A and B are shown apart, each in its own frame.
Chain A
Amino acid sequence: METDKELESRIDEILVAEKENKLHRMTKRDYIIAAIITAISLLGIIGGFFL
């Protein structure tokens, strides 16, 4: 029961933190970098067919 209350209060705290942008989120720039790395990896894999 104590854990249930703790759980609910934690969820509320996280939702508030999310609403107030207090979480360290991935930025658009981070996603773009991830996409570039993914694309380079894919090109490398395709290139491997020609070795």
Chain B
Amino acid sequence: MSRKHDVNKEIENEVYCGTLPVLPKERKYGFMDALLVLSGYCIATWSYTQGSYLATLVGFKQLLIGAFLAAIFMLMVYQLPVIMSVRYGIDIWIWLRSVFGPKGNKIVTIIIILVNFPWYAVCCELFADSMENLLGLFGIQLFNGAHLVLSLSCVVVGTIIALRGVSTITWTTRILVPLLLLVGVAVVVVGFTSVPMDVIWNYQPQLAGDADKTVNYVLNIEANFAFVITLVGGMAEVPRLCKSEKSGYYAGVLGQGAAGSFFVVVGAVMAIAMQYVTGQMVDDPTLMMATLSAPILGLSSLLLVAFANIGTQAVGSYIYGVMLKSTFKKISYKTLVLVLGVYVALLCVWGKITEYFGSFLTIGACVYAPLAALLFVDFFLIRKQKIDLKSAYELPGHNAYRYSKGFNIVGIICLALGFGFTLVIYDPIQGIIHNKILFMLTPTLASFIFTGVLYLLLSKIPGIRRYIRRDTYASPDKRPFDRAKVPPRQNIFFLPLMWLLCKMAVSPYKLKIDKHNMEGIKPPFLVYGSHNSFMDFYVTPLALMPYRANYISELEGFENFGEWIYRQAGCLGTRKFINDQSLIRNIARVIKRGDIMVIYPEARYANVGTNSHLTPSIAKLAKMLKVPVVTLNMQGNYLQQPIWNLKERKGARLHADLKCVVTADEVSKLSVDEILGRISKELTYDEYKYQLDNKIVINDEWRAEGLHFPLYKCRKCGKDFAMTSSGSKLTCKYCGDSYEMDELGQLHSSSGEVIHIPDWYEWQRGFVHEEIREGRYKLDIPVRVEALPNSVNFVDCGIGRFIQDNDGFSLEFDNYRSEKHETLKFPAKSMVSLHTEYDYRGKFGPCVTLSTYDDTFFIYPTEESKDVFNPTKIQFATEYLGGLYS
């Protein structure tokens, strides 16, 4: 019983004073409770200091606007992410692990503590001042060093309250805050009654001769932005205990924007009244109150305000203790609160914190604005209000936020640049404005906007997006790609850049382009190109220069390089091996507006540098469009980067033939078969023959590595999936039969036989056809499935089952749309081929894809099935069953 009780207590401690998410049923706070606690956190004697500072800048009316409207404006924006804290019952510092990485987060936490916690040393100093003044009013003389003893006693009492946990904090603030608000009201009454009301209402500061009223107003707004944004580090500990998102959010906004700001105004009223009465603008609240109040009211007010410092110290220690606990989870909450107490105590002993307070505040504001912006943009625009909680807590096997050894380089760079941006606008220590236009936005808001926009734009770059969004599985974008969207023309301003890029890409390989029958051929026309490697996309624009063109691209390319870039390059997105009527309509649109439409009809890279069979549909399309048909046969592209090993081979040489095979006159006269015949003839190729004929030497030592993917069957023992490759050798792992790939792309057996690679490839196909004809072909294996619904992200579909037999494909997977484990059927006759990858993106291994109109499913083998999963064999079977080779 006792042990059970300890465990429960431990968990309770972890919930309220630690990192554990607070469950909805455990939430303690309604709106009023949260408002009171947060008001307790915001109401402190530094509010008076802020008020009297503002009174040196602007008149009373502008001061009111700054204190209330500027504060509320900034709070309404930067406090929005606390709804995440309420939703999941977690601190923002858990969330921030996704922005900075767990280790980066630790560094940022320490920076925040270092720059922010001196506020509490100021509290202790003010407490000591207040007590000295109080005792002075009673005529009690204090000993030397009493000031330090008093300030340290504030640290000790505040720390003890914080150590007692959230319940004591709650009760402290429940009592203290209403009383303090009453004091504030009393002080305003005293202030307004001590001097004529219009003196305060019409107050204008006496500005130096060169002072600019507009600049002062901006400084007033900036001071309020900076004042409220300093809460960002500790803004979520209280809302995470709230029962509803609205309560947590508005408690944060009003705790500081109404209660905190009210005390700022109180401070200003007293400062103005003091100046009127004594001729001096005094920012010591105790002195103001003792001078202006009735003695009894003054004393009690003074006592309460003095003790408010203890309350602030306690709430601050609690909030920052939990914040530290979120980051340094192995250290106990009590230890962390004690460390904070020691830090404040040391600052009190140092005794110069008030003198250097401005510097601390300034540096703090420079850090907080970009921090708040990162949080806001990350929450709403990048992660779309969804975090992978298990990765945020670094549970075993959940590493989405590990980034670069625990640091999210992108988030850290944005924070640093945002910090620098503030200083570029304004030097707050010297008070020098470097950029007046941006200064009008206020340095804090400008830095907030700059950092937010920078982070957002960076997240749009595909490589960076994938780096930041390793947690897409937690909140994937499920919207299907809009295939019907009218493709834009290739961007005319983008073209020179694209040509330059293409020139640079092909230059090491000495591309030569020959044009045949192209005299007088002008857009619109249809181009059918051979498809060997990514190099095709560099060669084609150069072959079509100076015209612009549109290209058909699989959605996977949109996801990889970014939709915007692909659209600028003139790409039409589609999925492979589906009947995409929207695509046909878009092709017709391209032709109708007078452009070139480029299609790679094989729809997949050549596995061994030889062409696939073409279907009559491409000839039918030409007849439908009634435009000339041009073929682009590219040689060397496969040799430069074969699909089975994506390392580039510098020895490759490129050549391309651009030829008009059907004129506009001929297209309506020739039959489909005749047109198909002409296209097929020009798009017949054999890359290894091209290599041999032109004696193209490719002598990379690793030249055969990966060749076992297309050549999977041993020629000697006949076993499937038997081959392995290493260096320039291909070897059977069962019988040991071995082949050496020479520098001209031919294979040599140990017995001296010379083998042409495409012959071996086609030899295997025959066996698959035989298996199917004899009813022996069946693949039934476990697989890992990912879906690509759009150009944004993949969606995890879990472990499923993949079956291929004479009826076609059957794919069992977790359907993320219906949230059920389902089976999709793909009839054999519905596909003439399928897309295959041998090592997808050079890191994900072999896969095949199956498509519906709204999803492309990437199917990978599991550990269990990796030895029998071969994309080439699956493709052979698909092509035969689909009728391509019947």
- Measured between alpha carbons, how far is A42 from B390 in the docked complex, in Å? 39
Give, as a whole number of angstroms, the nearest-CB distance from A8 to chain B: 6
Name the contact of B66 in the complex, choosing from A4, A30, A48 (C-beta under 8 A). A48
Name the contact of B389 in the complex, choosing from A6, A15, A30, A38 (C-beta under 8 A). A15
Given the interface pairs A23-B87, A25-B245, A26-B249, the reply to whether A14 lies near B23 with Cβ below 8 Å is yes
Contact with B along A22-51 (1 / 0, CB 8 A): 111110001000100110011011011101
Contact A3 B73 (CB under 8 A): no
Q: Is B316 an interface residue (CB 8 A)?
A: no
A-side interface mostly: helix
Name the contact of B69 in the complex, choosing from A25, A44, A49 (C-beta under 8 A). A44
Given the interface pairs A26-B83, A26-B249, A44-B65, the reply to whether A7 lies near B393 with Cβ below 8 Å is yes
Name the contact of B7 in the complex, choosing from A2, A8, A11 (C-beta under 8 A). A2
Contact B7 A45 (CB under 8 A): no
Nearest to A19 among chain B residues (CB) is: B819
- Give the contact-size bracket for chain A: 20 to 34
Give, as a whole number of angstroms, the nearest-CB distance from B365 to chain A: 17
Give, as a whole number of angstroms, the nearest-CB distance from A42 to chain B: 6
B-side interface mostly: helix
Q: Which residues does chain A contribute within 8 Å of B217, judged by CB atoms?
A: 48-49
Give, as a whole number of angstroms, the nearest-CB distance from B288 to chain A: 26
- Give the contact-size bracket for chain B: 35 or more
Give, as a whole number of angstroms, the nearest-CB distance from A32 to chain B: 13
Nearest to A6 among chain B residues (CB) is: B11
Nearest to B15 among chain A residues (CB) is: A10
Give, as a whole number of angstroms, the nearest-CB distance from A47 to chain B: 7
Q: Is B246 an interface residue (CB 8 A)?
A: yes
Given the interface pairs A34-B76, A47-B65, A48-B65, the reply to whether A14 lies near B245 with Cβ below 8 Å is no
Given the interface pairs A11-B390, A51-B59, A51-B62, the reply to whether A4 lies near B395 with Cβ below 8 Å is yes
Q: Which residues does chain B contribute within 8 Å of A26, judged by CB atoms?
A: 83, 245-246, 249
Contact B24 A48 (CB under 8 A): no
- Measured between alpha carbons, how far is A6 from B14 in the docked complex, in Å? 10
Q: Is B88 an interface residue (CB 8 A)?
A: yes
- Measured between alpha carbons, how far is A3 from B8 in the docked complex, in Å? 10
Given the interface pairs A14-B88, A26-B83, A48-B62, the reply to whether A3 lies near B11 with Cβ below 8 Å is yes
Contact with A along B56-69 (1 / 0, CB 8 A): 00010110011001
Nearest to B474 among chain A residues (CB) is: A15
Given the interface pairs A6-B11, A37-B76, the reply to whether A24 lies near B244 with Cβ below 8 Å is yes
Contact A3 B10 (CB under 8 A): yes
Q: Which residues does chain B contribute within 8 Å of A25, judged by CB atoms?
A: 83, 87, 244-245
- Measured between alpha carbons, how far is A2 from B76 in the docked complex, in Å? 39
Q: Which residues does chain A contribute within 8 Å of B19, judged by CB atoms?
A: 7
Nearest to A17 among chain B residues (CB) is: B24
- Measured between alpha carbons, how far is A23 from B386 in the docked complex, in Å? 14
Q: Is B621 an interface residue (CB 8 A)?
A: no
Nearest to B11 among chain A residues (CB) is: A6
Contact B390 A24 (CB under 8 A): no
- Measured between alpha carbons, how far is A23 from B83 in the docked complex, in Å? 11
Contact B76 A24 (CB under 8 A): no
Q: Which residues does chain B contribute within 8 Å of A30, judged by CB atoms?
A: 245-246
- Measured between alpha carbons, how far is A39 from B109 in the docked complex, in Å? 32
Contact B76 A45 (CB under 8 A): no
- Measured between alpha carbons, how far is A51 from B58 in the docked complex, in Å? 10
Contact B73 A41 (CB under 8 A): yes
Nearest to A30 among chain B residues (CB) is: B246
Name the contact of B89 in the complex, choosing from A6, A8, A14, A41 (C-beta under 8 A). A14
- Measured between alpha carbons, how far is A37 from B68 in the docked complex, in Å? 12
Q: Which residues in window 1-50 of B have CB below 8 A to A? A: 7, 10-11, 14, 19-21, 23-24
The 4 lowest CB-CB distance pairs between A and B, nearest first, are A24-B244, A41-B73, A44-B69, A48-B65
Please report A residues at the B interface, Cβ cutoff 8 Å. Answer: 2-4, 6-8, 10-11, 13-15, 17-18, 22-26, 30, 34, 37-38, 41-42, 44-45, 47-49, 51
6 more contacts with CB within 8 A, not counting A11-B390, A45-B65, are: A3-B20, A17-B24, A18-B88, A22-B24, A48-B69, A48-B221
23 contacts between A and B (CB under 8 A): A2-B7, A3-B11, A6-B11, A7-B19, A14-B89, A18-B88, A23-B24, A24-B24, A24-B246, A26-B83, A26-B245, A26-B246, A37-B72, A38-B73, A42-B73, A45-B65, A45-B70, A45-B221, A47-B65, A48-B61, A48-B65, A48-B217, A48-B221
